[in-house]
Amino acid sequence: MTTQTIVAPPKGEAGLIVLLLEEALPRYLRLPVLPAVVGRAGPVVSMQAGGSTATVRVGAREVVLEDGLAADAWVRLEGDVDALLDVATGDHVVRPFVEGRIRLAPNVGGIVRRATGFAQGIAARLIPGGDRA
């Protein structure tokens, strides 16, 4: 299993969700199932709880935490701060989703941009001049 570095804004500048994620991610990154779930796709997930927002970009060698919602996020998690705390601390990872305290909102624009880039990459490898489509 590869070790991933967590990159985050400085503590004095980071928002609440970024700070929570920075504390919780080392534990989640040690889970053996994570590489299988993440794969090579490099998911981008945005989160919103109360007035606080954050984005997580998962790469092969690092996880980048940013304040704000990313336009290229695949999905946005929306919910209350208490539900996010439950997930971040590992107390209840699934329950807030089942209870509807955290909702998944797919970001169609982000998914389409990612799929288009993926298709163009394949075309460039398979078709001469395919990267100019």
DSSP letters of 58-103?
Answer: E-SSEEEEEES--TT-SEEEEE-HHHHHHHHHTS-SSHHHHTTSEE
> Could you give the number of structural domains in the chain?
1
Task: Give the CA count within 13 Å in the CB-facing half-sphere of 38.
Answer: 24
Interval 16-43 mean pLDDT: 74
> Residue 112: inside a domain, yes or no?
no
83: domain CATH number is 3.30.1050.10
pLDDT tens, 43-89? 788 889 888 999 988 887 788 999 999 988 888 888 888 887 787 77
pLDDT at 118: 61
Query: Does residue 37 lie within any of the structural domains?
Result: yes
| Helices 16-29 and 81-89, axial angle in degrees (round to 10) | 30
Residues of the chain with pLDDT > 90, as a percent, come to 13
Name residue, tokens 């969700």.
17
Query: Which two structure tokens, joined as six digits, stand for 111?
Result: 């998914």
Query: pLDDT (tens digit, 9 = 90+) per residue, 102-120?
Result: 888 877 666 666 666 666 6
57: domain range?
Answer: 5-107
